[in-house]
């Protein structure tokens, strides 16, 4: 006759499965990562690639043109503004071949207000 009480406090097969799971899952998760990061000699390849890339960057920097400095920034800004005001307030050709002209901005706004639909 079998005893009417528990013979063991834990299920032995369950304990073995739990220990196996706790050992094998990290092993399968981290072993490929470790192999990829540390065990394979890929750092030699990357070192050569980085050296070539650095050489190309240095060559590009040496070929980059020197900046053109403004010797008279205040006068250049005034010239630019006066040119823009002149273009906004006068008539002129934009493209003679296509027949595109420029009209003063005040006249353009007046024409638009006359032809625009009223709300």
Choose among 106, 103, 107: nearest CA to 94: 103
Q: Residue 43: what pLDDT?
A: 57
Positions of E strands within 17-110: 92-95, 100-102
Residue 93: partners with Cβ closer than 8 Å, 6 or more residues away: 100, 101, 102
Regions of the chain with pLDDT less than 70: 1-12, 37-51, 54, 57-65
Q: Kindly list the domain boundaries of the chain, sorted by start residue.
A: 12-63, 73-113
Q: Residue 11: what pLDDT?
A: 64
Q: Residue 87: what pLDDT?
A: 93
pTM for the model stands at 0.39
Q: What is the pLDDT of residues 80-97, one digit of tens each?
A: 999 999 999 999 999 999
Q: Residue 59: what pLDDT?
A: 67
């Amino acid at each position: 006759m079998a005893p009417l009480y528990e013979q063991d406090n834990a299920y032995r097969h369950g304990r073995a499965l739990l220990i196996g799971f706790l050992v094998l899952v990290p092993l399968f998760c981290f072993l490929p990562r470790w192999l990829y990061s540390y065990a394979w000699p890929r750092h030699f390849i990357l070192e050569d690639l980085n050296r070539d890339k650095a050489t190309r960057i240095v060559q590009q920097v040496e070929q980059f043109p020197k900046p053109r400095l403004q010797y008279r920034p205040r006068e250049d800004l005034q010239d630019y503004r006066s040119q823009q005001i002149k273009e906004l307030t006068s008539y002129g050709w934009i493209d003679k071949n296509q027949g595109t002209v420029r009209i003063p901005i005040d006249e353009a706004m007046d024409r638009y207000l006359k032809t625009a639909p009223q709300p």
